[in-house]
């Protein structure tokens, strides 16, 4: 496949994506961007544990030279919140890159940021480029996969998607993001300020509803801490009984026709990982994925597969997973 890839943002997820790009699409990464002084100047091959590639990490996208006759795709992995990353994405679009981003709020921003969404859509179309936010959740388990399953039903009464994640197997930043190690009081204070929790649950809900053409009348979101009843030793720190070991988060929609969509997420240290999709309609469906889809490595895979899809497609503007022919693995 003829394409050129730039990885923009080399945090834990960005590095995982870069490593998989080097393994699956050797030679396609023409540059990597990060502001971390400890990474700037390092060769991307060495940084990912591979062979020297003579491609150093740079601090600005302007420092990367690309061949304009080949498709350009930037994999963007810097932040969860759309307003803070829009200037980065806008610069990438202005330089001729399609953008595939891990930004959770970009997965379906039309409800939370209607005016910004219009701006992004208009600018991407002006540049004849596409921009999309995706990942495992949001981006797949609770929205795209669920949409796909509805292909075999003719009527839907309710949808319930449950995701259970054992965070002992996940990276430290995610453990902190869901409140592991905090007191209940600290967790609740942060929750009141919308400064803790999984970003993108309502985006998944809105994306799913939009993809199914369901007219949402009301959405209710909840978040509460889960508490460990016993001491737990994690790889980086210890938990004492009574401390927060994760969260329980829900986003529930009622449609104008009284159908219900419920997304139920628990991420905690005492969880058995599992993904479950229940659809009630003219035919009832209960899909269970034992052990669940592991977020970090699967996110890298879906981002790379979407990158290949974006290089080949001809749709421009602000796109979501409902707009794409469903992404799947394709050999290089």
H helices of 127-164, in order, are: 144-149
Report, at the CATH architecture level, how domain 4-135+297-323 is classified: 3-Layer(aba) Sandwich (3.40)
Residue 332 scores a pLDDT above 60 = no
Relative orientation angle of helices 12-24 and 295-312, to the nearest 10 degrees: 60
Dihedral, CA atoms, 195, 175, 178, 174, nearest 10 degrees? Answer: 70
Residues near 212 by Cβ (< 8 Å), separated by ≥ 6? 147, 150, 156
Is the pLDDT confidence value at 116 over 70? yes
Residue 45: strand, helix, or coil: helix
For residue 22, pLDDT beyond 80: yes
The pLDDT tens digits for 129-180 are 999 999 999 999 999 999 999 999 999 999 999 999 999 988 888 899 999 9
Domain 144-292, CATH class in plain words: alpha beta
Domain spans, the chain? 4-135+297-323, 144-292
**DSSP secondary structure, 257-316, as one string:** T--EEEEEEEEETTPPPEEEEEEEESS-EEEEEET---HHHHHHHHHHHHHHHHHH----
CA dist 136 to 128, 297, 303, Å? 27, 9, 9
In the predicted model, is pLDDT for residue 203 greater than 60?
A: yes
Mean pLDDT over 189-213 rounds to 96
Whole-model pTM: value is 0.94
| pLDDT given for residue 235 in this prediction | 80
Q: Point out which residues pair with 261 in neighbouring strands.
A: 159, 253
DSSP tag of 43? B
For 281-321, what is each residue's pLDDT tens digit? 999 999 999 999 988 889 999 999 999 999 988 889 999 99
Mean pLDDT over each residue of the chain, to the nearest integer: 95
3-state secondary structure of 100: strand
- Check residue 63 and report its DSSP letter: G
Q: Grade residue 1 by pLDDT with cuts at 50, 70 and 90.
A: confident
Beta strands in the chain (DSSP E): 4-8, 29-33, 57-58, 72-76, 98-101, 130-133, 156-166, 216-227, 232-233, 238-239, 244-255, 260-268, 274-281, 285-290, 317-319
């Amino acid at each position: 496949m003829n394409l050129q890839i730039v990885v923009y943002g080399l945090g834990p997820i960005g590095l995982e994506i870069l490593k998989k790009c080097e393994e699956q699409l050797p030679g396609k990464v023409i540059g990597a961007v990060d502001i971390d002084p400890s990474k700037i100047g390092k060769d991307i091959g060495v940084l990912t544990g591979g062979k020297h590639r003579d491609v150093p990490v740079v601090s600005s996208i302007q420092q990367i030279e690309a061949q304009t006759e080949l498709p350009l795709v930037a994999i963007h992995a810097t932040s969860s919140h759309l307003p803070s990353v829009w200037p980065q994405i806008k610069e990438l679009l202005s330089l001729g890159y399609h953008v595939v981003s891990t930004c959770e709020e970009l997965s379906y921003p039309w409800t939370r940021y209607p005016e910004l969404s219009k701006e992004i859509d208009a600018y991407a179309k002006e540049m004849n480029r596409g921009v999309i936010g995706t990942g495992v959740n949001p981006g797949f388990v609770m929205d795209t996969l669920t949409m796909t399953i509805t292909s075999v039903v003719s009527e839907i009464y309710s949808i319930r998607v449950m995701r259970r994640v054992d965070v002992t197997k996940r990276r430290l930043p995610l453990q902190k993001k869901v409140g592991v190690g905090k007191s209940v009081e600290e967790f609740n204070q942060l929750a009141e300020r919308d400064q803790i929790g999984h970003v993108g649950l309502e985006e998944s809900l809105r994306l799913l509803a939009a993809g199914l053409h369901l007219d949402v009348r009301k959405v209710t979101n909840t978040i509460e801490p889960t508490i460990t009843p016993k001491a737990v030793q994690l790889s980086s720190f210890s938990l004492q009984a009574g401390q927060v070991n994760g969260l329980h988060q829900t986003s529930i929609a009622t449609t104008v026709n009284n159908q219900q969509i419920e997304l139920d997420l628990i991420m905690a240290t005492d969880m058995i990982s599992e993904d479950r999709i229940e659809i009630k309609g003219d035919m009832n469906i209960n899909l269970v994925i034992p052990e669940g889809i592991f977020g970090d490595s699967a996110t890298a895979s879906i981002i790379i597969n979407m990158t290949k899809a974006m290089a080949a497609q001809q749709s421009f503007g602000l796109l979501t997973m409902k707009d794409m022919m469903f992404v799947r693995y394709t050999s290089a």
